[in-house]
Homo-oligomer: A and B are copies of this chain.
C-alpha cells in the first residue's frame, strides 16, 4: 500500500525553519488561501499574499493567528513565522518575485481565466501556476495563457493545513515537468499529493463524498435514521476503517484468505442489486429535503457553536494523524 509511505502534517516538511523554497504568492485569501498561507509560512517559506478586499490584511493576520496553535500542535515551529509574510492589495506586486503561485479565487470560469492572464503578465516566466479549484479543470482555466504548460490544479481538502491530501490534476497542455514540480512542492510542505490520470468534474474525493452524501440523504429521507444517527454510524464504522485503508484494500481484507476475489464471490449479487436500486432511485437536494436536514441539524449538533465543533474536530484530527504516524513507525520497526 502506497499510503504506508504517507507524509503527514504531523510531520513538518524538511524545510521547516529554513528557506529552500522560492517565494510563494497566495492569490485570494479566503478560508483556503489563509490556511495555505499559514502552512507555507510554518514550513519556512516566504509568502506574498494577495487579496483585493479592503479588510484583507487584518483578516489574514487574524486567520493565521488562529491556525498557528494547531500547526504548533502538529510539530511546526510557528514563532515569528509572520515575519516571512507580505500582504499586497496589488496582484502585480504579489506575484512579481514568486516562484510558485497558489490561486484560491471564486469558482467561476471567467474569473479564473482573467486572473491567470493577469498573473502571467507579472510573474516570472518559469513560475509554477497552481489552482486550488475544486471544480474548474486546468485545461479550461489555462485556455487564455501564452504558456499553459506550467498551469495545473492542486486541489486541497479543507482545511489544507490539516488534511494531507492534495489532488494534482494537470490539464491537457500541462507539462510533465510542471506536474513533477507540483508534486515535489506539496510533498515538501508535508502534504500527500496524488496525481489524477484524467480531468473529471469534481475530481475524486468530492465525487466520493457526494456519492456517500446522496445515500445518506436518501436514508434520512426514508426515516431509517436521523442526521446525527447517520453521522454516529459513520464515525463508529466506515470512517474509522477508511482512516486505516481505502475501500478497495478494506474489501480485500473483508474477503478472507481469497482477498478481493473472495469478497466478489460473496457479495457481487448484493452489490449489483444495491447499485440498481441506487440508479433507479432519484435523490435531489430539493427545498423540502433541505428543510428536513436543516431542521434535524438544528435539533442535534446544530445546538453546539460551530467554533466548538471545529475545535473538537481539529483536536481529534491531529490526534488521529499523530496516532497513525506512530503506529506506522512501530509497524516498520517490527519487520
- What is A's interface to B at a CB cutoff of 8 Å? 1-4, 6, 31, 135, 157-158, 163-165, 167, 192, 194, 196-198, 200-202, 204-205, 207-216, 219, 222-254, 256-257, 259-261, 264, 268, 270-276, 278-279, 281-285, 290, 293-294, 297, 300-302, 304, 306, 309-313, 315-324, 326-328, 330-331
Which of B232, B276, B285, B326 lies in contact with A272, CB distance below 8 A?
B285
Of the candidates A202, A208, A274, A297, the one having the most CB atoms from chain B within 10 angstroms of its own CB is A208
Residues of B contacting A209 with CB < 8 Å?
238, 247
Which of B216, B225, B226, B248 lies in contact with A227, CB distance below 8 A?
B248
- In the bound assembly, the distance between CA atoms of A323 and B278 in angstroms comes to 36
- In the bound assembly, the distance between CA atoms of A297 and B310 in angstroms comes to 37
**Contact between chains at B164 and A237 (CB < 8 Å):** yes
Q: A1-B309, A6-B236, A275-B210 are in contact. Are A163 and B241 (CB under 8 A)?
A: yes
Beyond A213-B271, A216-B246, 17 additional pairs, beta carbon < 8 A:
A157-B236, A194-B232, A194-B233, A198-B222, A200-B219, A200-B224, A201-B274, A205-B238, A230-B246, A230-B248, A238-B242, A239-B242, A240-B317, A243-B316, A248-B293, A276-B284, A316-B331
Q: A197-B225, A302-B259, A309-B1 are in contact. Are A231 and B245 (CB under 8 A)?
A: yes
**Contact between chains at B245 and A243 (CB < 8 Å):** no
Which of B228, B264, B297, B310 lies in contact with A2, CB distance below 8 A?
B228
- In the bound assembly, the distance between CA atoms of A276 and B207 in angstroms comes to 12
Chain B, residue nearest A318 (CB): B327
- In the bound assembly, the distance between CA atoms of A293 and B306 in angstroms comes to 41
Residues of B contacting A302 with CB < 8 Å?
252, 259-260
Residues of B contacting A194 with CB < 8 Å?
225, 229, 232-233, 236
Residues of B contacting A283 with CB < 8 Å?
275, 279
**Contact between chains at B3 and A235 (CB < 8 Å):** yes
**Contact between chains at B231 and A204 (CB < 8 Å):** no
Which of B192, B304, B319, B326 lies in contact with A327, CB distance below 8 A?
B319
**Contact between chains at A320 and B244 (CB < 8 Å):** yes
Residues of B contacting A3 with CB < 8 Å?
231-232, 235-236
Of the candidates A233, A276, A311, A318, the one having the most CB atoms from chain B within 10 angstroms of its own CB is A233
Residues of B contacting A6 with CB < 8 Å?
235-236
Nearest-Cβ distance from residue A334 to partner chain B, whole angstroms: 9
Nearest-Cβ distance from residue A41 to partner chain B, whole angstroms: 22
